[in-house]
Amino acid sequence: MATYLRNLSEYDFSKVPDASNMCFGIVVAEWNPEITGKLLEGCVSTLEKHGTLPENIHVKTVPGSFELIYGAHQMCLNGGYDAVIILGCVIRGDTPHFDYICEGVTYGIARLNAKSEIPVIYGLLTTNDLQQAEDRSGGRLGNKGDECAVVAIKMAKF
C-alpha cells in the first residue's frame, strides 16, 4: 500500500505483543541526521510504549545508509537481540547514486533476513525530495520509526 494512503504511526495497539522481555538493536545512519534522528526518536518511543526497557534498546550509528548492512550484520552476530532495526534516509539527487545505494541496502538487508537467526527490520526511507522524507519522519504521514518498532516486536514474536 502506498504510504500516502495511510499514516505510518497508526496501528492497532491491541495487536502488538508485549515487548517487556525483548532486547532490540538499532543501527542509524548519520547521513540526513534531521530525518534519521526523528526516525530514531519514533522507534525508541514506540518500543518503550510497548514495554521495552530503555536499557534493552541499543543504538549504534554508521556514517551512511550503505553501512547499515554491516552494522546490522554485526548486531546479528554479536548482540543477543530479538530483532535489529535499520534506520536511514536516501534522498534522490542528480546522479544514479540514489539507485545504487537503495538497491544495495535493500539487497543486503534481504540477504541478512534470509541467513540470520533474528529479523532485521528495513527502515530506509527512499524519497524523491526532502519534503517526502519529512512527511515520513514525524510529519503528515507519521513516522516510519514507529512502524519499524511495531514490525520488530511482531517479528521477534514470530
2-51 pLDDT, tens digit per residue, is 556 677 778 777 889 999 999 999 999 999 999 999 999 999 999 999 99
Looking at residues 81-102, what average pLDDT do you find?
Answer: 95
Percent of the chain clearing pLDDT 90 (strictly above): 89
- Kindly report the pTM of this predicted structure: 0.94
Looking at residues 47-63, what average pLDDT do you find?
Answer: 98
Q: Which pLDDT score is estimated for 12?
A: 79
Q: Which pLDDT score is estimated for 79?
A: 77
In order of 23, 32, 83, 95, the CA distances from 100 in angstroms are 32, 17, 26, 10
Helix orientation angle between 68-78 and 97-115, rounded to the nearest 10 degrees: 10
Q: Which pLDDT score is estimated for 9?
A: 78
Q: Cα 109–113–116 angle (5° rounding)?
A: 120
Q: Which of 143, 90, 153, 89 is nearest to 121 (CA)?
A: 153
Q: Which pLDDT score is estimated for 138?
A: 94
Give 142's strand partners: 139
Over 90: is that where the pLDDT of 1 sits?
Answer: no
Q: Give 92: exposed, middle or buried? Use CB within 10 Å, 0-12, 13-18, 19+.
A: middle
Is residue 97 among the annotated active site residues? yes
Q: Which pLDDT score is estimated for 6?
A: 72
What value does the mean pLDDT of the chain take?
94
Q: Which pLDDT score is estimated for 59?
A: 98
Residues 50, 58, 73, 97: which is the catalytic one?
A: 97
